[in-house]
Amino acid sequence: MYKVYVKTDEAGRITSVNSDAFLPDVNGWALIDEGDGDRYHHAQGNYLLKPLIADEGVYRYKLADGKAVERTAEEIQADIDALPAPPPSSGKILAAATLAFQRMAAFGDITEEEAIEYKEIFPEWKDLIGKPYREKMMFRHGDDFYKVNDGKSGTFQLHWPPNQTASEYSKIGNPQEEWPEWIQPTGAHNAYAVGDKVTHDGKRWISTADSNTWVPGVYGWDEAA
């Protein structure tokens, strides 16, 4: 003869079932039945008619009048409703972090140098066609990185690629390049300062003027030795 014991939580839900054949200490366990045969000997997997835990991840049985009784559908549903929401998947976390980084960059909370270091998380221009843009928004186009000029907003158009629409978009240079390619400024927001270094027409130039929008070789630049 084997004795069947159960453990319960504070609400009386049965959280475990076993036989005294495998319990060296029954302290904290409640005796509910005894008998012979595999159902009693291997009670952990055989005594209850249904699995101890329902498909939804809540306990199926309760201890009532010294017996294991299946809980009502309402009781089980109440436990299901009380389950915490599952944590977001790693994919959702990454998507949320990417969106937050993009918004911080658009509102100036992240420098252009910081943004370009992680430019891979920014959208491609071709994927933005037909969608609205606003000032300071950043995006990729091929191997280059761009932002929307100050005061500009509109809708990305197929026939207005960023490398041909300087009035709307400005290319952001790689700060790790000591002599980046000169880009025609479109206003004070992306004009060159004194000491800025660029490459133009295969030569290197250093700006000698603030708010410099001139083409190297015309005015405001000294050719580097």
Please count the residues of the chain: 225
pLDDT of residue 157: 93
3-state secondary structure 24-58: CCCCCCEEEEEECCHHHHCHHHHCCCCCCECCCCC
pLDDT of residue 176: 54
Is the Cα dihedral 49, 52, 56, 58 positive or negative?
positive
User: pTM score, two decimals?
Assistant: 0.47
Q: Which of 41, 35, 48, 50 is nearest to 22 (CA)?
A: 41
Q: How far apart are CA 79 and CA 75, in angstroms?
A: 7
pLDDT of residue 51: 95
Read off the tokens for 11. 């609400």
pLDDT of residue 174: 64
Task: State the amino acid at position 205 in one-letter form.
Answer: W
Task: State the amino acid at position 208 in one-letter form.
Answer: T
Which residue is listed with tokens 């436990």? 79
Flag residues of the chain having pLDDT under 70: 174-178
pLDDT of residue 76: 96
Q: How far apart are CA 191 and CA 55, in angstroms?
A: 64
Q: Which domains are assigned to the chain?
A: 2-82 (no CATH), 87-172 (2.10.10), 177-225 (2.10.10.20)
Q: What is the pLDDT of residues 130-188, one digit of tens each?
A: 999 998 899 999 888 999 988 889 999 999 999 888 778 888 876 556 687 888 888 77
